[in-house]
Amino acid sequence: MTKIITADNIDEAALCIKNGGTVVFPTETVYGLGADALNDEAVRSIFTAKGRPADNPLIVHIAHIEDVYKLTSFRSEDAKKLMDAFFPGCLTLIMKKSDLVGGVVTAGLDTVAIRMPSNPIAHELIKKSGCFIAAPSANLSGSPSPTVARHVIDDMNGRVDYIIDGGASEVGLESTVVDVSGDVPEILRPGKITYEELKEVVPNIVINKGILKETDKPKSPGMKYKHYAPKADVTVVMGSKENVRKYIESRITDNVGVLTYKGGTYNGAYVINAGDSMEEYANGLFYNLRLFDEHGVNTVYAEFADEGGIGLAVKNRLFKSAGHKTVDADIIK
Ligand code: TXA
Ligand code: MG
Indicate the top mutation candidate among 132, 160, 177, 286 to test ligand 1's pocket, ranked by most ligand atoms within 8 A of CB. Answer: 177
- Nearest atom in ligand 1 to the alpha carbon of residue 175 is 1
* Contact of 232 with 323, CB cutoff 8 Å: no
Model confidence, pTM: 0.96
Query: Which backbone phi and psi does 31 adopt, to 5 degrees?
Result: -70, 145
**pLDDT (0 to 100) of residue 219:** 77
Return the percentage of the chain with pLDDT > 90, whole number. 92
How far does Cα 261 stand from its chain's mean position?
A: 21
Ligand nearest to the CA of 191: 1
**pLDDT (0 to 100) of residue 217:** 67
* 3, pLDDT greater than 70: yes
* 222, pLDDT greater than 80: no
Where in the chain is CATH 3.90.870.10?
Answer: 3-212
- Which residues sit with Cβ closer than 5 angstroms to ligand 2, an ion? 137
- Cβ burial of 280 (10 Å; 0-12, 13-18, 19+) is middle
**pLDDT (0 to 100) of residue 213:** 79
Q: Tell which CATH architecture fits domain 233-328.
A: 3-Layer(aba) Sandwich (3.40)
Ligand nearest to the CA of 223: 1
- In angstroms, the CA 219 to CA 178 distance is 11
Where in the chain is CATH 3.40.50.11030?
Answer: 233-328
Q: Choose between 211 and 228: higher pLDDT.
A: 211
Indicate the top mutation candidate among 28, 174, 317 to test ligand 1's pocket, ranked by most ligand atoms within 8 A of CB. Answer: 174
**pLDDT (0 to 100) of residue 333:** 53
Chain mean pLDDT for the chain? 95
Q: 137 alpha carbon to ligand 2 midpoint, in Å?
A: 4
| DSSP class per residue in 150-216 | HHHHHHHTTTSSEEE---S-SS-SPPEEEE-SSSS-EEEE--SS-HHHHHHH-TT-EE-GGGSS--S
Ligand nearest to the CA of 32: 1
Indicate the top mutation candidate among 106, 133, 137 to test ligand 1's pocket, ranked by most ligand atoms within 8 A of CB. Answer: 137
Residues with CB under 6 A from ligand 1: 27, 29-30, 32, 56-59, 92, 94, 106, 109, 111-113, 115, 135-137, 174-175, 177, 188-189, 220-222
CA dihedral 154, 160, 161, 167 (to 10 degrees): -40
* 317, pLDDT greater than 60: yes
- Nearest atom in ligand 1 to the alpha carbon of residue 221 is 21
Tell the CATH topology of 3-212: DHBP synthase (3.90.870)
- pLDDT one-digit tens code per residue, 47-76: 999 999 999 999 999 999 999 999 999 999
Give the residue, by CA position, lying nearest to ligand 1 atom 20: 222
Mean pLDDT of the 266-286 span: 97
